[in-house]
Amino acid sequence: MVLKLLVIINFCKFVEKINMGRAMIIGAGGVATVAACKMAEAPEVFEEVLIASRTKEKCDNIIKKINKPNFHSAQVDAMKIDELSSLIKEFKPDLVLNLALPYQDLAIMDACLKTGVSYLDTANYESPDNPHFEYKYQWAYQDKFKSAGLTAILGCGFDPGVSQIFTAYAAKHYFDEIHFLDIVDCNAGDHGKYFATNFNPEINIREITAKGKYYENGKWIETEPLTIHRPIEYPEIGEKESYLLHHEELESLVKNFPSIKRARFWMTFSQRYLTALEVLQEVGMTSIEPINYEGKEIVPLQFLKALLPDPSSLGQNYKGKACIGVQLKGLHQNKERTYFIWSIFDHEKAYKETGTQAVAYSTGIPAMVGAIMYLKGLWKKPGVYNVEEFDPDPFLETMPKFGIDWHEAIDIVLPIDK
């Protein structure tokens, strides 16, 4: 009887061990902070965690906040593939989480291929010299990752990320065909600053000032920046003016759900934010074209980034809520169906838990949950995949355990149509 009990105990320890893993986070901003804090809440999954960035001090500050012996820090320039590869070989992670800038996606993917480690990120590749962004550069790695037996999970934040998982969940449980998709993103919080961005200013401003784009009847339609807008009602927030933008998850969603006839992305901005942005554009401060200043070449947008508040510093005074969701129309059993699925975020709650604001919170937790999905073998197959290509159920069962709830409403008048 004692021997049998020992066998059972040892087997349980073995099963627990195979569901554990080593994770390497690249980046030390707000998103990385949230992901690391939440990893510390799941010691049964994350055996060892390494946080690496160009500035080791930032990594050390995150580790001081967590105060766990299995968290470590390192300095690395992720654009230098050999340098990053050496660090990966030294730490031997099971998964690399790219929570740095999208400029670094391809370099980090190359390092993962070179060292035989799987990969996860939260945003698609973007060239520093071109504000245009699309998935084709990362999708081109499909055969390389497949032949190496490695998994690359693309866009595992909230939008992109959970917005696609919400769509996959709706397709699995509520629709035979999805015809119309609208992703709606409202941040109704107030950080007390006259002008600031909720994530990296350079990336944020490039995204907002780029041309809008949406999908309709098999074609992509471009619009001038922020010219299409309309009021949308958001749960727990109310009506807010919302602007049509291009967002990368639309590209993968229309590919993976070919019944979609129209796909759009909407985001809210305050009038003060838009006025300030317009002035900055008019005087050339949002340009990515280098200029010569007193014998030195500078990029105006990068200089502006240096002047603006660090997004990770906004959390302390941030009040209010945000809402991100997906509104869908389609067919179920030959009848028209509508569906709305969404999450609500509270800036003060996010700061209390992680010392960050809700935008970083909403991105860092999904990245961490995606890592759990991989380490548990639930999202693990050779190749390059967007998150909607995996089973959404275990992800949406896990996410609320770490701070993000979600809600759904079926066969209602959608807020986008009110």
48 domain-assigned: no
pLDDT tens readout for residues 162-204: 999 999 999 999 999 999 999 999 999 888 888 878 667 777 7
239 domain-assigned: yes
398 domain-assigned: no
Q: Is the dihedral of CA 240, 204, 181, 35 positive or negative?
A: negative
What total of structural domains would you count in the chain?
A: 1
Domain that holds residue 326: 162-351+405-417
Picking from 400, 378, 401, the residue whose alpha carbon sits closest to that of residue 391 is 378
262 domain-assigned: yes
CB-side neighbour CA atoms (13 Å) of 85: 12
187 domain-assigned: yes
Distance CA 338, CA 413 (A): 7
CATH code of the domain in which 332 resides: 3.30.360.10
99 domain-assigned: no
Rounded to the nearest 10 degrees, the angle between the axes of helix 105-115 and helix 81-91 is 50
360 domain-assigned: no
pLDDT tens readout for residues 18-33: 578 999 999 999 999 9
pLDDT tens readout for residues 32-86: 999 999 999 999 999 999 999 999 999 999 999 999 999 999 999 999 999 999 9
pLDDT tens readout for residues 386-417: 999 999 999 999 999 999 999 999 999 999 99
Residue 7 has pLDDT above 50, yes or no: no
Tally of CB atoms within 10 A around 417: 13
394 domain-assigned: no
